[in-house]
Amino acid sequence: MISYKYKLYKNKNNRFLDAMLRESAFVWNHALALQKRYYALYKTFIPSAKLQKHFAKRIKRNLLHSQTVQEIIQRLDTAYQRFFKRIAKRPPKFKKAKDFVSFAFKQGGFALNGNELIINRIRKRFRFSYSREYKGNIKMLRIKRSHLGEYYVYVITDCQPTAYGKSHNGASIGIDFGLKTYMTLSDGERIDNPQFLKRSIKEIRKANQCLSRCQKGSNHRERARLSYCRLQEKLVNKRTDFMWKLAHNLCRNYDYIFIEDLNLNGMMKMWGRKVSDLSHGTFINILEQVANKYNVVVYKIDRWYPSSKLCDCGYKNDKLTLRDREWICPHCGQIHDRDINAAKNIRRKGISELVSNGKTNISLGMRQLRLSQESHVL
């Protein structure tokens, strides 16, 4: 399925969307209270279908469509399932009306006519920026409010994403993520760290100080909050744009991309804000999405593989520290740049594992294949 995002124009009718979000928060909190009370009495939870029947018969709805109520209850059920499967760390919690930011329609309760959205329950029309035409049959329509109070429409259709057909005859690349440089490629290319947060930190701190000095509940505080949110949104947009462009550039040029399975939680504890600004985890998720469209293989090697300590001859430098950016192999005398050597070893290790598992038709020279198999044995 494909999701299309459109921005709603500011209109006096948007106050009805605020009211619908408040009613959505009431449905969420009421359903959560019923679940907690039922579990306290019977040590089990109410099935989602039974809870939907309860809301359909006994709870009065002024603004929300029945399918919207069903979607909120299913969302609550999904949140519980994620907690039971230990995907989420905490169970779902009660939400304030201002913190509930979206509701959805499932193929009913709305109509789309060009750049106009009609919500049947409240009989109101909303215009949005129809920037591109959506394709396929609509499976769901979601309305979401941003931190700036702006509304967006997400149209989810059953159209399958178009795969970008290409082939580079098995071209592959190894990637070593870093702090000073965003990443180093096995061909020697370095992608500099854009440092978006560091460039904007003075403005963000100033806006945060202005916000903290304002009286709570005042109009001045609301204006300061919007100013602070605009800076944060601008920062996120810059970082996201950089990641998507970089992911597309890598997938256009290579058929196989080898990366490390990073321990992001450990890196956050050691380096804190630097790692959060780099957002390597977000980039890996974006890279996997883009690679799926390009039919590119993204392969992760073991995080404990000593990629920066190995030489081509097979020697392992156990005395290498983070301060050592270059080192000389005592066996063969080869000079290694730490990051480039790590990227080369990541690529070599990934190729050897794919070849040994028989999961690839990657084309290698005889020397590259021999080195790959030797590193796999090591």
Quickly state the pLDDT bin for 375 (edges 50, 70, 90). very low
pTM of the complete model: 0.77
Percent of the chain having pLDDT more than 70? 89
Instruction: Give the closest residue to 278 by CA, choosing from 166, 157, 204, 178.
Output: 178
Taking 70 as the threshold, does the pLDDT of residue 38 lie above it? yes
Task: Quote the pLDDT of residue 268.
Answer: 62
Task: Quote the pLDDT of residue 373.
Answer: 41
Residue pLDDT, tens place only, 81-99: 999 998 888 999 999 998 8
Q: How many CA atoms lie within 13 A of 186 on its CB side?
A: 24
**Mean pLDDT across 158-181:** 78
Taking 70 as the threshold, does the pLDDT of residue 118 lie above it? yes
Quickly state the pLDDT bin for 18 (edges 50, 70, 90). very high
Taking 60 as the threshold, does the pLDDT of residue 206 lie above it? yes
Residue pLDDT, tens place only, 323-359: 777 767 777 777 777 788 888 888 888 888 888 776 5
Residue pLDDT, tens place only, 141-157: 999 999 888 999 999 99
Pairing relationship of beta strands 102-105 and 181-185 according to DSSP bridges: unpaired
Helix (H) or strand (E) holding 87: none
Residue pLDDT, tens place only, 239-278: 999 999 999 999 888 888 998 887 766 666 666 667 777 7
Taking the domains of the chain in order of start, what are their residue ranges? 2-157, 172-192+251-377
DSSP secondary structure string, 194-211?
--HHHHHHHHHHHHHHHH
Helix (H) or strand (E) holding 326: strand 326-328
Please give the mean pLDDT across all residues of the chain: 83
**Mean pLDDT across 31-59:** 88
| Alpha-carbon distance values, 102 to 25, 97, 150, 227, 293 (Å) | 9, 11, 12, 22, 28
Task: Tell which wins on pLDDT, 259 or 321.
Answer: 259
Task: Quote the pLDDT of residue 361.
Answer: 54
